[in-house]
Copies of this chain bind each other. A is one copy, B any other.
Amino acid sequence: MIISIVGAGALGKTYGGLLAQQHEVHYLMRSEYAQVKREGGFTLVFPPPQNSMQIEAPLLHQDAKTLPPSDLVIISTKTTANHELGALLGHCIKENTLVLVIQNGIGNEEWISQLVPHNPLICGVSSMKATRLENNTVEIAYIAELRLAPFQAATEKQCEIIEQAFAATSPAIPVKAYQSYKEIRWRKLIWNVPFSALSIIYQQDTQVLATRQPYVSIVRALMNEVADIAKADGVTISQEHMAKMLEATQKSGPYYPSMYFDSIQGKPIEKEYIIDNVLALARQYHIETPMLNLIQTNLN
């Protein structure tokens, strides 16, 4: 397949580097283009027992206009760049190009489908921890499942194409296909909303937020409000599931969400997709969300 990665940050480079083992992968890279070009590639460092992997002579593009018409386009920009996607998708989309969106938040597919109204669109939610280091290296802390679900014009068959492509990489990326894109988005948001927002507001890592009172009460209140909205939106998330998420976060050590780093680095934060779109749905379904309202103001 010809694959274009639109937004080759830590996540886009990792997936692209793996898929390039068997496919022709093009990377749209803007801020890092010059450095990667100069150094002739980039490095992926997987957790043991994997070795690190040098991605040599990747097909780099600084301008979306030089991307080739592609069989698969993976959108892995931050959602803060979503207003630019119309321009970025102009050249790589042909008839039947499969569009895979791997982003946080909700409302992503609703927006992107307006830009590619005739293409099969697949929702992807990744929990992989991939961090860009200074020396042109991406460090993958762990390889988590990539969850997929078909959106507009897409089928389960097309999810399988992606599943098989990632199964063939080394290391392989586990992919699981779901029927409802809302289900995988809400299951991620239950975690992302409280931890991304509160890590910025209180400048605390997720282990502290999940462990220490009174932070943990605020986390629980937010999870419950998000679950109420999810339920109105057709996705039931049990109390047991939320308790497990909290426990896992307590055990997984000090960690800061990417939104925290965006914030302290003075970059735009993914508030629109992770917070504002959630609250817009709350209003639509007439769900009261007093704690989310407080959080939203504190992120302004």
- A residues neighboring B (CB under 8 Å): 201-202, 214-215, 217-218, 221, 224-225, 288, 290-291, 293-295, 297-298
- A215, B288: Cα distance in complex, Å: 10
Pairs A–B under 8 Å by Cβ, sample size 23: A201-B293, A201-B294, A202-B290, A202-B293, A214-B221, A214-B225, A214-B288, A214-B290, A214-B291, A215-B290, A217-B221, A218-B221, A218-B290, A218-B291, A218-B294, A293-B298, A294-B294, A294-B295, A294-B297, A294-B298, A297-B297, A297-B298, A298-B298
- The 10 A-B pairs at the shortest CB distance, nearest first, are namely A294-B294, A297-B298, A294-B298, A214-B290, A297-B297, A215-B290, A218-B290, A202-B290, A214-B221, A217-B221
Nearest Cβ distance between residue A225 and chain B, in whole angstroms? 7
Closest to A218 in B: B290
On chain B, the residues within 8 Å of A288 by CB distance are 214
On chain B, the residues within 8 Å of A214 by CB distance are 221, 224-225, 288, 290-291
On chain B, the residues within 8 Å of A297 by CB distance are 294, 297-298
Copies of this protein, total: 2
Nearest Cβ distance between residue A132 and chain B, in whole angstroms? 31
In this complex, the member of A215, A293, A294, A297 whose beta carbon has the largest number of chain B beta carbons within 10 angstroms is A294
On chain B, the residues within 8 Å of A215 by CB distance are 290
- A214, B224: Cα distance in complex, Å: 10
Closest to A209 in B: B290
Closest to A298 in B: B297
Nearest Cβ distance between residue A124 and chain B, in whole angstroms? 33
Nearest Cβ distance between residue A201 and chain B, in whole angstroms? 7
On chain B, the residues within 8 Å of A217 by CB distance are 221
Closest to A228 in B: B214
Nearest Cβ distance between residue A262 and chain B, in whole angstroms? 19
On chain B, the residues within 8 Å of A218 by CB distance are 221, 290-291, 294
Closest to A214 in B: B290
On chain B, the residues within 8 Å of A291 by CB distance are 214, 218
- A217, B224: Cα distance in complex, Å: 12
On chain B, the residues within 8 Å of A295 by CB distance are 294
Closest to A204 in B: B290
- A214, B223: Cα distance in complex, Å: 13
On chain B, the residues within 8 Å of A202 by CB distance are 290, 293
Closest to A198 in B: B290
On chain B, the residues within 8 Å of A225 by CB distance are 214
